Amino acid sequence: MSHPDTYHRTQPISPLEPHHFWQTIDPAGTHDAAPDGFTDSYPTSFPDGRQLLLPLRVLPGDGTQAVASLIINQASFAVEDALSQAMTGLIAPLDPEVIVGVPTLGLPLANNVARRLGHPRMVALGTSRKFWYVDALSAPMSSITSPTHQKTIFLDPRSLPLLADKRVAVVDDVISSGTSMVAVLTLLAQAGITPAAVVVAMLQGTRWHAPLAAHRNKILAPIASPRFTRTPTGRWLPD
């Protein structure tokens, strides 16, 4: 079964060309394996075999490395719901009492997961400083999608009573290099909070293993994707 944006295309997708990535969850087997490499997309799979087609994005540098990209605020509600449902299933056995959402793209997932758990609200971290924020509840943060844009992540001091002595789960969209999640966990540690779990929509590659080694047994995700290296033929093979 074909898809209008599968890796069977012979020409790369234009940056300005509309696409259908992140809009549907496809049945198992919709997208075939590509042993010779992928062109512009990669199908990641849910544990039950359903597939989500992701675009390949070339990373800054020499053009030889790429990742499969998930931009949840460009996804259909059906895809967001499918991912959130799967994420909720992973952490529900831990009975979290509070969900902490990581900006920016982790926030819609955190809202969705918290609602599915029956929570009345979630606690959102922020990257926009309010005048009542304090340096003691902040940490520097960068990400693979914004490697040259250093941000600061904050915990609103007024949120501390919501988290004190509670079983906390952190929700984000993707873990790739691990630097953003290290910043989040550093920030929470400064507030005396040790999350019971971290659940993300997708794990991207394995470079996050080293910086998050102390937390790997707490990190959960319903889908995963590798990193990719460009072949001499111009296709992309998983690392």
What is the CB neighbour count within 10 angstroms for residue 67? Answer: 23
Query: Domain for residue 209, yes or no?
Result: yes
Give the chain's largest Cα–Cα span: 56
Contact 123, 160 (CB under 8 A): no
Range name among 5-9, 76-80, 131-135 with the lowest pLDDT average: 5-9
Query: Domain for residue 103, yes or no?
Result: yes
Query: Domain for residue 184, yes or no?
Result: yes
Where does the pLDDT of residue 10 fall: very low under 50, low under 70, confident under 90, or very high at 90 and above? Answer: very low
**Total of domains in the chain:** 1
Q: How many Å apart are CA 9 and CA 41, to the nearest integer?
A: 9
Strands 51-58 and 41-45: antiparallel
**Which tops the pLDDT comparison, 11 or 85?**
85
Q: What is the mean pLDDT of residues 206-225?
A: 97
Percent of the chain with pLDDT over 70: 89
User: In the predicted model, what is the mean pLDDT of the chain?
Assistant: 90
**Coil vs helix vs strand at 9:** coil
Query: Domain for residue 174, yes or no?
Result: yes
Contact 90, 56 (CB under 8 A): no
The DSSP string of 56-106 is EEEPTTTS-EEEE---GGGS-HHHHHHHHHHHHHHHGGG--SEEEEPTTTH
Summarize pLDDT for 160-204 with one digit per residue, the tens. Answer: 999 999 999 999 999 999 999 999 999 999 999 999 999 999 999
Quote the domain boundaries for residue 156. Answer: 77-223
Query: Domain for residue 18, yes or no?
Result: no
Strand ordering across the sheet containing 41-45: 41-45, 51-58, 65-68, 227-230, 236-238
Q: Read off the CATH number of the domain in which 184 is found.
A: 3.40.50.2020
Summarize pLDDT for 51-91 with one digit per residue, the tens. Answer: 999 999 999 999 999 999 999 999 999 999 999 999 999 99
Task: Please state whether the peptide bond connecting residue 233 to the residue before it is cis, i.e. omega within 30 degrees of 0.
Answer: no
Name the strand (E) or helix (H) holding 188: helix 179-190
Q: How many Å apart are CA 81 and CA 109, to the nearest integer?
A: 8
Residue 149 confidence (pLDDT): 61
Query: Domain for residue 48, yes or no?
Result: no
Residue 16 confidence (pLDDT): 41
What is the CB neighbour count within 10 angstroms for residue 133? Answer: 17
**Which tops the pLDDT comparison, 235 or 11?**
235
